[in-house]
Amino acid sequence: MAQHAVGRGGAAALSSGKKEKLRRAIAPYLFVLPNLVIFATFIVVPAILGFVYSFHEYDGLNPMEFIGFDNYTEIFADGDFWAALGRTGIYAAIAVPSLFALSLGIAILLIQDVRLKGLFRSVIYWPTMISFIIVGLTWKWIFGDAFGVLNYMLTLIGLKPIGWLTDPVFANFSVIVATLWSRVGFFMVIFIAGLQSIPVDMYEASHLDGASRWRTFRSITLPLLKPTSVLVLMISIIDAFKAYPLMVALTGGGPGNDTTFVVQYIYEIGFEKQELGLASAMSVLLFVIIGIFSAIQFRLTRGGAV
């Protein structure tokens, strides 16, 4: 009878152990469940609906009508879409390398043992916490043709005002400057984390070997920073292709359509012309384009492997 009791006690302990293992296995998922619900509600479900809409004629009010690949066929004949995509590509080709070089340079400077580096890091990072709408409005007060601070300062020294937001070249320049100001701090922090992960003894060995700073940067810093560099490039490319609120607040897409990038064009098609099916097809195509760029970059860099 005592053996029977012991057997039941062992079975109970085994059952309790299984329950504990089950709780430990489930607990991490319970912690991330709220984020998963939010992600599914606002990202996954809208993405699926957008893909479905892309095969329909839909204005948001009347019932959807299935039209197959007609929306995609219309895109390839839409010169304005490809012009907006081309402008976005040019913007990305300038903004991405500029962000990379500037944020890396600042990170290298602020990882040194300099006074007030914490303050400098905070000041440079601060603009990343401001919404793009506010960033655009702030720089509009600086670059404004009639009321801008910059033109006012030019008139004080006897120079003519410049059409920062009305000249196509200067308008694109203004967009680039505002982008750099608002995003450099974010990528600076990522680079600082990457630089801090590089073993110090490698730099000490390089110094003992008499290597110059440029040789050390080229042979040690850049190779060991490769995973971080890949991350920065991928995020900045995606950011560039989906840029929208800053440009709308700063230039409104003007002058003309010179700063109307692809996301703004998709918005105009979907919500101003109420062609949600066509806009959804454009969004799907943009997703594919970004995915192809990311895959090529990931392949060329071998996923950031050193």
Note the pLDDT tens digit of each residue in 7-66: 555 555 556 767 778 788 888 888 888 999 999 999 899 999 999 999 999 988 889 999
Give the model's pLDDT for residue 2: 47
Averaged pLDDT for residues 111-120: 85
More confident residue, 217 or 181: 181
Does residue 5 have a pLDDT over 70? Answer: no
Residue reference for tokens 């009321």: 147
Q: Residue 207: exposed, middle, or buried by beta-carbon count in 10 A (0-12, 13-18, 19+)?
A: exposed
Averaged pLDDT for residues 74-99: 95
3-class secondary structure for the chain?
A: CHHHHHHHHHHHHHHHHHHHHHHHHHHHHHHHHHHHHHHHHHHHHHHHHHHHHCCEECCCCCCCEECCCHHHHHHHCCHHHHHHHHHHHHHHHHHHHHHHHHHHHHHHHHCCCCCCHHHHHHHHHHHHHCCHHHHHHHHHHHHCCCCCHHHHHHHHCCCCCCCCCCCHHHHHHHHHHHHHHHHHHHHHHHHHHHHHCCCHHHHHHHHHCCCCHHHHHHHHHHHHCHHHHHHHHHHHHHHHHCCCHHHHHHCCCCCCCCCCCHHHHHHHHHHHCCCHHHHHHHHHHHHHHHHHHHHHHHHHCHHHCC
Q: Per the structure block, which two tokens stand in for 67?
A: 């039209």
Fold held by 79-304:
MetI-like fold (1.10.3720)
Question: pLDDT confidence of 305, banded at 50, 70, 90?
Answer: low
Give the model's pLDDT for residue 238: 92
More confident residue, 148 or 186: 186
Does residue 257 have a pLDDT over 80? Answer: yes
Give the model's pLDDT for residue 11: 56
Give the start-to-end residue ranges of the domains of the chain: 2-53, 79-304
Question: pLDDT confidence of 303, banded at 50, 70, 90?
Answer: low
pTM of the full predicted structure?
0.86
Q: Per the structure block, which two tokens stand in for 207?
A: 């110094």
Residues 6+ apart with CB under 8 A from 110: 117, 120, 121, 124, 188, 192
Residue 282: Cβ within 10 Å count = 28
Does residue 301 have a pLDDT over 80? Answer: no
Q: Find, among 165, 193, 195, the residue nearest to 177 by Cα.
A: 165
